[in-house]
């Protein structure tokens, strides 16, 4: 077994899996974690601590994390607006 010249193991695949799950499984709460992990992975690659061949995977995880986080935020805003609308409607009819 050959030893890697990089002191840290890559977490790009883990971040990508979180990003995919955050979008596909409607588990949007995972998306911010994918965004943070992808960003940290890119920083570690830039610093030379992790293998640069995982840069594409880390970037994909970061993008999926951003998209999932935006969708999660929109869903939260939608739920809040829904609750406010029906609360106002219930109060105005009584």
* pLDDT tens figures, 40-92: 999 999 999 999 999 999 999 999 999 999 999 999 999 999 999 999 988 88
| Residue of 16, 32, 14, 42 whose CA lies nearest to 68 | 32
- What residues contact residue 91 under an 8 Å CB cut-off, 6+ apart? none
pTM, full prediction: 0.85
What is the radius of gyration, based on Cα positions, of the chain? Answer: 19
Which tens digit of pLDDT belongs to each residue from 20-44? 999 888 678 999 999 999 999 999 9
- Which residues fall within 8 angstroms of residue 53, CB to CB, at 6 or more apart? none
């Amino acid at each position: 077994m050959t030893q890697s010249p990089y002191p840290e193991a890559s977490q790009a695949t883990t971040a990508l899996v979180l990003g995919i799950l955050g979008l596909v499984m409607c588990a949007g709460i995972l998306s911010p974690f994918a965004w943070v992990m992808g960003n940290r992975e890119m920083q570690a690659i830039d610093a030379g601590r992790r293998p640069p061949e995982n840069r594409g995977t880390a970037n994909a995880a970061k993008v999926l994390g951003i998209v999932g986080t935006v969708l999660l935020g929109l869903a939260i805003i939608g739920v809040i607006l829904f609750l406010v609308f029906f609360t106002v409607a219930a109060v105005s009819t009584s």
